Amino acid sequence: MELHKEFFKQDTVKVAKALLGKIIQYKGTAGMIVETEAYKGSPDMASHAAKRTPRSAIMFDTFGKFYIYFVYGNYFCLNITTEEYKPGAVLIRALQPLEGIKIMKKRRGTKDVHNLTSGPGKLCQALGITKKLNGTEVNDKIKIYEPDNKLMKKLNDINKKNSLSLKPLSPSKLSPKFKIVAAERIGIKKAKHLKWRFYIKGNEFVSKK
């Protein structure tokens, strides 16, 4: 069942947590969301949501829309805007591949399943998501939905075949220890000086730095 637009009206951190385990699908490729990151404005002043610019305005004005931006000259990052009256978005950081794995391998130029969607830039590349989808409504072109039993079975089959367990593939610096995480930045000035708050299975962990 597709997630209703109203789902994204909630608090950003709530949405980030709730998106874990959901399926994201675009043009014959799909994966289960295993790592998300909540972006709000204050007190995270290094977030795009901290300042309204032509690029980030979508985070201020909408919920339930895809915010896709180009970064480091090579990659795209996929976010979904949240909250009605406050700026916010959830970055999709990692997926577990589910459908269209052949296509993903081709696009990513690797045969390693663990390396297909284990990062925000990687997953956009694997799914063929580019800036042209920026601003589209959730479920217009890119679908997000709750997995049914059939899909879960398929996921388990893929896991068996590739010796994977139900865990995220992200080697992300964000979550070196923990698997299947939602995260929130709690520092204030520059991205590299930020602290992180992780949510794993209902528990909270705060990074040391």
Partner DNA sequence: TCTCAGATCGTCT
Partner DNA sequence: GACGATCTGAGAT
Residue closer to DNA by CB (options 176, 202) is 176
Tally of helices (H runs) and strands (E runs) in the chain: 5, 9
Query: Is 17 an interacting residue with respect to DNA (CB under 7 A)?
Result: no
Residue closer to DNA by CB (options 31, 120) is 120
**Total Cβ atoms within 10 A of residue 204:** 9
**Strand duo 23-26 + 143-145: pairing:** antiparallel
C-beta of 195: minimal distance to DNA in Å?
14
Query: Is 71 an interacting residue with respect to DNA (CB under 7 A)?
Result: yes
Mark residues 110-149: x for contact with DNA by CB under 7 A, - for none: x----x---xxxxx--------------------------
Residue closer to DNA by CB (options 23, 108) is 108
**Total Cβ atoms within 10 A of residue 97:** 26
Contact 178, 198 (CB under 8 A): yes
Query: Is 175 an interacting residue with respect to DNA (CB under 7 A)?
Result: no
Query: Is 54 an interacting residue with respect to DNA (CB under 7 A)?
Result: yes
Among positive and negative, which fits the CA dihedral 62, 92, 55, 142? negative
Query: Is 208 an interacting residue with respect to DNA (CB under 7 A)?
Result: no
C-beta of 150: minimal distance to DNA in Å?
29
Query: Is 207 an interacting residue with respect to DNA (CB under 7 A)?
Result: no
* Closest residue by Cα to residue 31 from 13, 14, 19: 19
Q: Single out the segment in contact with DNA by CB under 7 A; choices: 20-28, 74-82, 136-144, 147-155.
A: 74-82
Overall size of the chain counted in residues = 209
- For DNA, the binding residues in 25-44 under the rule CB under 7 A are 37, 39
Q: How far is CA 107 from CA 51, 101, 118, in A?
A: 34, 10, 14
| CA torsion angle 75 42 205 35 (round to 10) | -30
Q: Can you give the binding site for DNA, defined by CB under 7 A?
A: 37, 39, 46-49, 51, 53-56, 59, 69-75, 77, 79, 89, 91, 108, 110, 115, 119-123, 172, 176, 190-191
